Structure 1
Amino acid sequence: MEKISSFLIAKVMALGVFGLAGCENVSLADYKEEVTVDGISNQFDLTELKEYWTGSIDDDFEDDRVVVIMKKTTTYPELDVETFGLDNAESLHYSFLAPKNENPNFHQILVIFLKTKGKDQVILAINELNKLDFIKTASPEYIYGTQDD
């Protein structure tokens, strides 16, 4: 198999498909440790259901980043990496910050890059990010391949 970059694939899939394999809808009441961030959380639709990644460390994913899909917003804030409260976060990159045209189903998508690599570090970051009430889902960036002819 030839390894190909999945960055673009992950962004496109995240836009159109929130029911990805490995995610499930969970009521806000099912997650007891949600954290509200003053001045940030109120910019998002907190009634939107969270989706939790249910994959495993054995899945084939990048070991240095987490893909984050934010809950719906009409203000499209450009948050900095410190907002997410991850000790292991090095930087972030917005894949989709704001829609070009009005779109009520738009979700901001970003990637948080980690200082310390490791699949275990990715999973720890996902678990921490899931505590934030304005995040719809956090998941690893999967590696997709093609078969040689």
Structure 2
Amino acid sequence: MASYEFEFPFFGFWGPFFEEGRSSLPHGGLDLYETKEGLVVEAPAPGAKKEEISVEIKDGILRIDAEHKEEKGEEKEKAVIYRAQKQNSFHYATTLPKAVEENKARAKLKDGILKITIPIAKGEKKGKGISIEES
């Protein structure tokens, strides 16, 4: 009997690259590491300005969204037949591996790299226990 892997040996390899809504990179191109200051996330943001980027941390998930529009200026000695408008957008989302102090997070955009530093919470956040009733 033939196995699925035998019939389609590269399906698992190529699948993630072409599935809609998924990035071809393991964590969407983000770098995530821990320093003495906390968790640090670095995301490529080529050509984006700080006004075009939105960063949010909610329920332990970091979301970064940006939309960059670039219009070419008017050229005086040419009759423009077609003018392209470049539009780049990117969206990143990652689950943070530790409890963080969301309200103390800070972000900096330099040389096309968005660097977000998020302090790690002192002590783990504990979940709420749920009591079980007998019926």
Q: TM-score, normalised by structure 2?
A: 0.27
Which structure shows the higher helix fraction?
1
Query: Looking at CA atoms only, which structure, 1 or 2, has the larger radius of gyration?
Result: 2
Which structure shows the higher strand fraction?
2
Structure with bigger RCO (C-alpha 8 Å, 6+ apart): 1
